[in-house]
Structure 1
Amino acid sequence: MTTMTDRAAEPAPEFLADTATGLPIPSEPVFGTPEETRRHRKQRLAAALRLFGKYGFGEGISGHISVRDPEHPDRFWVNPFGVSFRHVRVADLICVDARGRVVHGTHRVNPSAFVIHSQIHELHPGATAAAHGHTAHSRALGALGRLLEPIDQESAAFYGRQTLYEAYEGPSVSLEQGRDIAENLGDNRAILLRHHGLITVGGSLDEAVHWFFTYDSCAQVQLLALAAGTPKTFTHEQAVAAGEGFGDAQLGWFSFQLLWDEIVREEPDLLDE
């Protein structure tokens, strides 16, 4: 009988790449200077915001995506207050310091963006980026007080990596509330805010935004399945196995590259500096 140990010792088939998932995924680019890294992150941020607009994640002034500045860890870049996701360009982005002052850019910062994102970046050094939106599916799932169940491969990416935040004291405009959210996030990649919306984080902006898109689509699938009947979930072993593949951080990063290619081709003005 061939055991799993025996199979693990066997050479990998030629069609599998040397990555955690076996997929031919390239590595993230590495830049020689903070200026080059900053420009790259700002371009990805502007693209992510346009994608939020394209997919209907906008809700008035609500919603924000942030990415840590590569040279000043206590600062982050974020979308400006009162500018539509559909219109944001690299030139519109603002950089905010730990006190909430806009140190680069001409627009104001959304107070909720500051209190939430500043605390996430402060308490979680590995969270290079955070994405937050008030999408219909995340709000509906939060109203039910239910997290994603492992009913398919995509939702398994969040198996054991999500948490529900049930406290609500009105719009998030106090540092205390932002810190409470950041503390409750813990080591998870997603926190579902009951009566509010969704936040996802990642080691890159690309990864954080991919998790946001995936979580929202999984919430939609779960709501549809619940409306139709009683969905069958994975076993623990199945959920772990699926999560190792679909929850791989490198896969999350690479998946965003396809969205990047789409939106830059469709809306190249987003790169205007």
Structure 2
Amino acid sequence: SIPSTDTKAQLDDITMSSLGGQKKTPLDAIVQGSTMQAMPTFSNVADKRAFMLEHMAHAFHVFARRGYSEGMAGHISLRDPEFPDKFWLNPLGVHFALLTPGDMALVNEQGEVIGGNKSRPVNAAGFLIHSAIHRARPDVVAACHCHSRFGKAWSAFGRPFEMLNGDAAMFYGDAQAVLTSYGGLVFEESLSDPVASALGLNGRGLIMQNHGLLTVGQSVDEAAYLFTLMERCCEIQLLVEAAAKDGLQKQCIDDATAKHTFETSSDSDSLYCEFQPEIQNEILLRRLKFGSESPGE
């Protein structure tokens, strides 16, 4: 069954005393004036799948522009909306910037490509990592893993980043986890299961020591936004650590404020909406460059 925790309950329905005691979601609370739509609903699963795969491709485009693509490394998985024991993966050896919805491959629990793009293989290590996460976390719809620059650098310390600002508070408490071992490329379940175990039932971001970062979400938009946020948090932590070497004193957010920030701004709907400007910008830039959203169309 899907994990049910106090943290999830707090994020799903928060009472905002400043709004006359009315129960508001974090997304409702941040909006002044007209409402903002979270992830749309669909009348049929085919339309929902098409939308999800389109946003999966957009996430890769954003990652490419930010420099997260590195050789054949890096992957995003997306649980299929109709068959929850199967998920979509990007094909091996295609640059993030070139991926389209039609490039994605649907894999089963054995790692066999059973739908979508069957012309290219998927990353074997990526399948094992994502398979372990999707098995352990039925609430996870999408997971992102890349070897981004600052994530790799900070992961060498094998410890979580601190609550230095509001962005870091999106990973407050057990929402941030650390895997303090590195066994090389993941080619067997004995190496992928510890990834899911380290993430835990409440984790949304995992620092993989000497490796990189991994994030999860209830949409690919949420998971992708959290990845960009986590990468930036690692960058800020490294900058602050360097400045502190000269005697400057760090001032972290106090625990109560970090907890409040987490509870009032990090629900799945809000994080989905946070990523939409990135997608809109990417679509416009690609249309200006290619005349369409993808090269070759």
Per the normalisation by structure 2, the TM-score is: 0.84
Q: Which residue of 2 aligns with 1:207?
A: 222
Residue 123 (1) aligns with residue 147 (2): no
CA distance in 1, matches of 2:145, 2:54: 18
CA distance in 2, matches of 1:66, 1:218: 23
CA distance in 2, matches of 1:101, 1:42: 19
CA distance in 2, matches of 1:189, 1:98: 22
Deviation by residue 1:186-219 (Cα, 9 ceiling, x = unmatched) = 1210111001111000011111111001010111
Specify the code of the residue in structure 1 equivalent to 2:191.
Q
Range with greater deviation from structure 2 (261-270 or 77-86): 261-270
Distance 1:180 1:11, change over 3 A: closer
CA distance in 2, matches of 1:270, 1:158: 33
Q: Which residue of 1 aligns with 2:30?
A: 23
Deviation by residue 1:52-89 (Cα, 9 ceiling, x = unmatched) = 11100011111101110111111111110000011111
Residues 26 and 265, structure 2, Cα contact 8 Å, conserved in 1? no
Specify the code of the residue in structure 2 equivalent to 1:269.
E
Structure 1 residue 234, shift from structure 2 partner? 1.0
Distance 1:272 1:182, change over 3 A: farther
Distance 1:70 1:222, change over 3 A: same
Residue 102 (1) aligns with residue 117 (2): no
Structure 1 residue 34, shift from structure 2 partner? 1.2
CA distance in 1, matches of 2:261, 2:98: 37
Q: Structure 1 regions of 5+ residues with no counterpart?
A: none
CA distance in 1, matches of 2:150, 2:266: 20
Distance 1:222 1:174, change over 3 A: same
Residue 36 (1) aligns with residue 47 (2): yes
Q: Which residue of 2 aligns with 1:175?
A: 189
CA distance in 2, matches of 1:6, 1:134: 39
Q: Which residue of 1 aligns with 2:293?
A: 269
Q: Structure 2 regions of 5+ residues with no counterpart?
A: 1-14, 287-291
CA distance in 1, matches of 2:46, 2:273: 23
Distance 1:272 1:32, change over 3 A: farther
Secondary structure of the residue aligned to 2:259 is helix
Q: Which residue of 2 aligns with 1:74?
A: 85
Structure 1 residue 36, shift from structure 2 partner? 0.8
Deviation by residue 1:148-170 (Cα, 9 ceiling, x = unmatched) = 21010110110111111012111
Q: Of 204, 212, 221, which residue of structure 1 is paired with 2:236?
A: 221
Q: Once superposed, what is the RMSD of the aligned Cα atoms?
A: 2.1
Secondary structure of the residue aligned to 1:103 is strand
Residues 46 and 270, structure 1, Cα contact 8 Å, conserved in 2? no
Per the normalisation by structure 1, the TM-score is: 0.91
Moved over 4 A (4+): 5-9
Residues 164 and 193, structure 1, Cα contact 8 Å, conserved in 2? yes
Residue 10 (1) aligns with residue 20 (2): yes
Q: Which residue of 2 aligns with 1:90?
A: 101
Write the mapping of 1:52-71 to structure 2, written as runs, cut at 5 A.
Answer: 52-71=63-82
Count residues with an aligned counterpart. 265
Q: Which residue of 2 aligns with 1:111?
A: 124
Specify the code of the residue in structure 1 equivalent to 2:268.
A
Residues 90 and 270, structure 1, Cα contact 8 Å, conserved in 2? no
